[in-house]
Structure 1
Amino acid sequence: MTLLILGVILWIGAHTFKRLAPDTRAGMGETGKGVVAVLLLVALALMIVGYRGAYGDVWWGRHPATVGINNLLNLFAVYLFAASGMKTRITAGIRHPQLTAVKAWAVGHLLVNGDLPSLILFGGLLGWAVWEVILINRATERPAPPPPASMGKEIGAVVGTLVVYGLIAWAHYWFGYPAFG
């Protein structure tokens, strides 16, 4: 459980470093990007290893209805990441599509995983995403919405979403976490 908690704390710290200590981060220049990237990879490894080895109380479990809701939320989360990269129409209405994706992903996983390690991992990342949105909104003005995306970008985002979602579902099965069962 310690590795999981350290991973979540490191993830939050690395992501919020720029917001909480902007002068220090700016002073690091381009090197800072590499440092943050390495910290995030270490955090990700700690969270994966820590989650797989953690155990704790279980308050609720999977139910067919919550599995379906989880899958829809995660499909939406993957779409938001694709939409963010391709600047599709939905990004005109959602200021932080990637952080909104993290929130949808975390809520979906909390619906089907009611154990202590899941609350630490998914609840911790949900809390981080909410906090990050607040920090960004306080620090920056809302940018002008992007121009409408072409239909090709919209279709590309949907196709990319389906491919990536399929790969994620396959990886879940491979690691022993069935996405649809």
Structure 2
Amino acid sequence: MLILVVGLAIFFAVHCVRLFIPDWRKMVVTKAGLMSWRVRFGMLSLLSIGFIFMGYGQARLAPVWLWFPPVFMPHITSLIMFVALFFFCSAVVPKTTLRRVTGYPLYLAVKLWAFAHLLSNGNLADVLLFGSFLIWAIASYAVFRRRDRKAGVKAEESNIRFDLIALGFTFVSWFAIVLFFHKAVIGVSPLV
């Protein structure tokens, strides 16, 4: 469990810099250069994700159960995950309506992902992992939307064609995850 907590601490320390010190990135890029910033940020992110995977895998070997979700909950989680994947794809594909309306669909995707997984997983490691991501996504979304409104940031134009591309990616990725990747990477089928 300690490795999971260390991984989460590193991940959120790196990814909360813009929340608490918005101009720090700009200062580091000015001093050391953009490539240096990206390498450091990327290495710390990869290190933290490695710790999270390793710690979560170890914690699942000796779970501390807080509750036992009902047997139908994985099906509800899968439906919520479809919506989360649509938000994710809308964040990746430019000029989508969700990006124009919400500003930060990636944070909304993380919120839905974390909430859905909290519904269908009831051990302590799950609460630490998904609960911390849920809190981070809520805080990040609120802070960045408030900053955008204060700065008068205008929404980009959207096009239905890009929404359809995002929807197509959503279907492909959802089926790939449900039918193959979740079981291959995590070891659990999402529809069991």
Q: TM-score, normalised by structure 2?
A: 0.85
Q: Which secondary structure does the structure 1 equivalent of 2:187 belong to?
A: coil
44-53 vs 86-95, which moves further: 86-95
**1:8 corresponds to:** 8
Matched, 1:110 2:118: yes
Paired residue type of 1:36: F
Unaligned runs of 5+ in 1: none
Structure 2 CA distance for aligned equivalents of residues 162 and 40 of structure 1: 28
Mean Cα deviation higher: 157-166 or 57-66: 57-66
Q: Distance in 2 between matches of 1:160 and 1:10?
A: 31
Partner of 1:28: 28
Q: Give 1:48 shift.
A: 0.8
3-state secondary structure, aligned to 1:28: helix
Choose from 141, 148, 151 the match for 2:158: 148
Deviation per residue, 1:57-114 (Å, 9 max, x gap): 2122343432122111111111111112223222232232000000000000000101
Q: What secondary structure is seen at the aligned counterpart in 1 of 2:72?
A: helix
Q: 1:48 aligns with which of 43, 47, 53?
A: 53
State the Cα distance separating 1:158 from its structure 2 match: 1.3
Identity over aligned pairs, percent: 24
Q: Which residue of 1 aligns with 2:136?
A: 128
Task: Please give the alpha-carbon distance, in whole angstroms, between the structure 2 residues aligned to 1:148 and 1:64.
Answer: 40
Distance 2:6 2:189 in 1: 26
User: Tell me, what secondary structure is at the counterpart of 2:66?
Assistant: strand
What does residue 127 of structure 2 align with?
119
Whether 1:77 and 2:118 are equivalent positions in the alignment is no
Residue 165 of structure 2 aligns to which amino acid in structure 1?
A: G
Higher alpha-carbon deviation: 75-84 or 53-62: 53-62
Aligned length: 180
CA RMSD of aligned residues (A): 1.8
Shift of 1:22: 3.4
Runs of 4+ in 1 over 4 A off after TM superposition: none
8 Å CA contact retained: 2:103, 2:145: no
Task: Tell me: CA distance 1:20–1:57, structure 2 relative to 1, closer, same or farther (3 Å).
Answer: same
- What code does the residue aligned with 1:39 have? L
Q: Distance in 1 between matches of 2:28 and 2:135?
A: 27
**Structure 1 pair 91–25 and aligned structure 2 pair: CA distance change class (3 A):** closer
TM-score (norm 1): 0.90
For 1:92 and 1:40, the matched residues in 2 are separated by 28
The AA in structure 1 aligned to 2:191 is: F
